[in-house]
């Protein structure tokens, strides 16, 4: 059986992606780092709608945790494999660079970029060995395309993730593994709740923040068979803010 793993799946965009994928009857593995209560709530929502879900706790920025958790999962599912991966986990530690503590730089890079490496490199061999390959979607950002002041660390991490997406897509295409990135703009989640929504939405041609479900629908498409000839792409979803 093919499973989908969504990192950072207990809240925000990850939560919406988990619920959206379950609509396609894909068993969803909800990764979370510490908020077990929120992760359980996502699992219950999915199961309440007739879907399948399970929890897998680990910090994507800790290679030993990633390896141990995925090894345990694979031992418990010897005949199954994770065919769909959504690298969604990420954090913000916004500040002007001249005031940015070193730990905030490393924390953001570690979760968004190193986390992508740790999880993807662990799952990729089995994807490439399978006849039908796999699908990888990386959650990038408008910040990684445009660069945003106060987000030098976040912009650096997401821009690097975009470059990695394009390179990895070329490495895995012959094995039927597609790799794409989604670059959301301002989306109404807990990661943007501290922003001045009324002022920022004036910058968006559509004059509103996006909805998590809109991003999740795009991710669902990129993981589907209908997107089997799309790879190495970065698809913006930002209401026309940056094109």
Query: Cα separation of 24 and 44, whole Å?
Result: 17
* Cβ within 8 Å of residue 29, ≥6 positions away: 3, 4, 5, 6, 9, 53, 54, 55, 56, 73, 82
Size (the chain), residues: 243
Q: For residues 58 and 70, what is the distance between their CA atoms, to the nearest angstrom?
A: 9
Q: 242, exposed or middle or buried, with CB in 10 Å at 0-12, 13-18, 19+?
A: middle
- In order of 16, 57, 64, 182, 193, the CA distances from 112 in angstroms are 19, 17, 17, 14, 20
Structure-block tokens of residue 168: 């990895």
Of 118, 154, 229, 242, which residue is the catalytic one? 154
H helices of 10-59, in order, are: 12-22, 36-48
Q: Is 154 an annotated catalytic residue? A: yes
Q: Which pair of tokens denotes residue 107?
A: 């924390």
Catalytic positions are 154
């Amino acid at each position: 059986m093919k499973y989908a793993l969504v990192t950072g799946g207990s809240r925000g965009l990850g939560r919406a992606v988990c619920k959206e994928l379950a609509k396609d009857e894909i068993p969803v593995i909800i990764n979370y780092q510490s908020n077990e209560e929120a992760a359980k709530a996502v699992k219950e929502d999915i199961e309440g709608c007739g879907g399948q879900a399970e929890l897998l706790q680990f910090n994507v920025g800790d290679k030993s945790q990633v390896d141990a958790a995925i090894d345990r999962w694979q031992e418990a599912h010897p005949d199954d494999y994770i065919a769909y991966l959504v690298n969604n986990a990420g954090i913000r530690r916004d500040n002007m660079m001249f005031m940015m503590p070193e730990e905030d730089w490393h924390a953001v890079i570690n979760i968004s970029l190193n986390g992508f490496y740790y999880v993807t490199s662990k799952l990729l061999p089995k994807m490439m060995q399978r006849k039908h390959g796999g699908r990888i979607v990386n959650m990038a950002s408008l910040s990684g395309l445009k660069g945003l002041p106060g987000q030098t660390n976040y912009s650096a991490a997401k821009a690097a993730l975009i470059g990695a997406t394009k390179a990895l897509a070329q490495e895995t295409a012959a094995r039927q593994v597609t790799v794409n990135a989604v670059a959301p703009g301002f989306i109404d989640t807990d990661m943007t709740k501290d922003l001045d929504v009324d002022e920022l939405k004036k910058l968006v041609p559509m004059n509103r923040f996006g909805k998590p479900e809109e991003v999740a629908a795009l991710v669902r498409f990129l993981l589907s068979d209908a997107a089997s000839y799309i790879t190495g792409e970065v698809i913006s979803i930002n209401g026309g803010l940056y094109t």
